[in-house]
Chains A and B, each alone.
Chain A
Amino acid sequence: MQKPTYNNADLEVRSLDTMCVNESALEHRWYHNLKYLTVGVFFGIVFIKAEVISWFRIQEMFRLQSFHMYGIIGSAILVAMASIFLIKKFRAKTIYGEEIVFHDKKFNKGQIYGGLIFGLGWALTGACPGPLFAQIGTGATAVAVTLLSAIAGTWIYGYFREKLPH
């Protein structure tokens, strides 16, 4: 068991960035991460089988030509919302018996500026970060360039973070 080394200010920054702030007090062996691998695999398969990662589907969405993507995002939100409601209502615990905690997000202008910038990139690449990984898996190896570029974009944000309006 290791004591968290973060101070409060750091937690603030981390929750701002939707990092995992639900730090588990439990220390696990590496193979415990395999369960996240499994969830990721299922998730990736759904992405592809439902064409969520299709550049064409994203174009259709932003041209209001199809309900497909709206249906997927909308029903995903509803199912997630119901799940969170039930978890809170019944105070469900994790498989390790820990209490499941949620953190509120704070508003800052980054959600507007950054949101717009991401939206531009979303329609251009036809992918948000998750689908980038799935696209590469399908053999579209050139998308690795887009992924590296996205990592670079994240790095540039980190570099200029203090100078940007938030």
Chain B
Amino acid sequence: MTDLLSWPWYVAGPLIGLTVPALLILGNKSFGISSSLRHICASCLPSGIPFFKYNWQKEIWNLVFVLGILIGGIISVTLLSSPQAVNVHPDLVQELAGYGITDYSNLVPVELMNWESLFTARGLIMMVGGGLLVGFGTRYAGGCTSGHSIMGIANLQLPSLIATVFFMIGGFIMANFILPLILSL
């Protein structure tokens, strides 16, 4: 009875993979989440930018889908047993402790991502800066982990494989070389 609260990868991965045929069969929809950010721009602040001038109402399904993800989060923590302390590699625990990160009670590090830390250089870079990189990068790349890494590669698209390789390269660079500097701030 060690870790029943956290699902193993071989349960979660296939379930996530099944989202692809589910969306296709339910209505011919290609799996992709970062597009939702574009639809929000198009619906709220198109500002005459050609990239945001399209019939976003036709893509409302995508916004409903991400709303579902948010509700899924609420259900998980309220109705299902809430996640326990994340059990990670001891090396990571040791490394993060060096930056004063010791609270594993939440899935996000509460010591880094909270409203107060927005007013620190570290928090501002991570939350605002990180968000900008995610939003800008996914659209520039034409998709994110769902659209490229799962849907794209599963449909044997070489551009998606290339994008995924660069997702990983960017992640390795940030996690190993840049993040330590930011966490030391």
Contacts and interface: CB of A to CB of B under 8 A. Distances in A.
Contacts of B73: 44, 47-48, 53, 133-138
Chain A at the B interface: mostly helix, strand, loop or mixed?
helix
A63 B176 contact: yes
Contacts of B14: 75-76, 78-79
B151 A80 contact: yes
A80 B131 contact: no
Nearest to B170: A119
Contact of B86 (A41, A51, A70): A51
B157 A104 contact: yes
A163 to B, nearest CB: 12
B55 A130 contact: no
Interface of A: 5-6, 10, 13-14, 16-24, 32-63, 65-81, 83-84, 86-87, 92, 94-96, 98, 100-108, 110-130, 132-143, 145-159, 161, 164
A107 B142 CA distance: 10
11 contacts: A22-B28, A39-B19, A46-B7, A87-B25, A95-B25, A121-B137, A122-B174, A137-B71, A149-B130, A157-B139, A159-B51
A86 B154 CA distance: 12
Contacts of A77: 17, 149-150, 153-154
Given A111-B141, A113-B140, A138-B107, A151 B41 contact: yes
A36 B68 contact: yes
A94 B26 contact: yes
Contacts of B150: 73, 76-77, 80
A96 B83 contact: no
B27 A87 contact: no
Contact of B68 (A44, A68, A123, A156): A44
Contact of B13 (A71, A84, A143): A71
A118 B58 CA distance: 26
Contacts of B134: 118, 121-122, 125, 127-129, 132, 146, 149-150, 153
Given A55-B107, A137-B72, A60 B89 contact: yes
B97 interface: no
A39 B22 contact: yes
B141 A44 contact: no
Contacts of B144: 118, 128-130
A123 B69 CA distance: 21
A43 B76 contact: no
A15 to B, nearest CB: 9
A161 B51 contact: yes
Given A124-B130, A133-B33, 20 more contacts: A17-B142, A21-B30, A39-B65, A39-B68, A42-B68, A42-B72, A45-B80, A63-B89, A63-B175, A73-B145, A111-B166, A112-B162, A114-B141, A117-B136, A118-B141, A130-B66, A130-B144, A134-B72, A137-B77, A157-B139
Contacts of A41: 68-69, 71-72, 75
B183 to A, nearest CB: 10
A63 B168 CA distance: 11
Contacts of A22: 28-30
